[in-house]
Structure 1
């Protein structure tokens, strides 16, 4: 178990490995032309065993159970009950009525760090990447974070784990990382 500012050895290993391969730049540029629409018109649709769902609704059902949009939870017994979730950034309880879907690497930041040059299909996949880049979090936390990168915002708990997820997304998608973000990741993980 981690303490609020502790870390798992695997997170340290991940950050160390990814920082060796990520292209580092002096500072985050601001690239003209960003808009949310450059990453697709809303959430992507997916056909799953839970129904025809958009990415947001599927994440809500996975986190809280119940139903959302065209998605329905089925825990194997046919039950569709709802449950509370735990915010990954604060560890506070949350329910579906006060949450947002957070892009760990924000879309605006990704645009600035290299996504501006991607084809539209790659940007759409990035915006809907549930395995690496999306997490359900409390609305106020997500809005505080906004389009910040590591040097501008870290969660109050499990900072190294957050840095590990962030650099994994950056590395897997071939984005760049600013020197300040690299330093923040190193400090958060005691590297």
Structure 2
């Protein structure tokens, strides 16, 4: 529900999606590169214009000390994370108290604040309140979603289908080309060392 606070008119909560087990990677990606990816995602959202940043944890357990979170970082443990991405998305939408949310998975380490700022600006200036980064003509992250869509997303997402089950059919999604800023590739596997 939209906030009555005028200051929240264009506020955005940034969520780092870091609850998964990272099965293909070999460990939760919240722990990848000694937490470098996690800190990078937090910085991208914070410096990209999000008023509040929350890290969504799951496979690492309910103790935030298991993850190298900066001291001033908010976090939320998603108890039912193993049921799929939908549980994480629902937890985020329930925790948000803003007009917009921005979702950024932890495993896209080259996304910086400039990408987040560009996509957030596009969402704020669009009638739909929906925007996402696009790389090489492929939809990517971050995704920014206005609160008028949250209830429908919560109802539609299931299992490992998060907001995409709702967003994929939207003709009013603003696609923001960000090829000049990043590659936008997610990292599913550890890098193989040189032979």
The bucket for the TM-score relative to the shorter chain is under 0.3
Tell me the TM-score normalized by structure 1: 0.27
Query: Which of the two has greater strand per residue?
Result: 2
Higher relative contact order (CA 8 A, sep 6+): 1
Instruction: Tell me which structure has the larger Cα radius of gyration.
Output: 1
Tell me the TM-score normalized by structure 2: 0.26
Query: Which of the two has greater helix per residue?
Result: 1
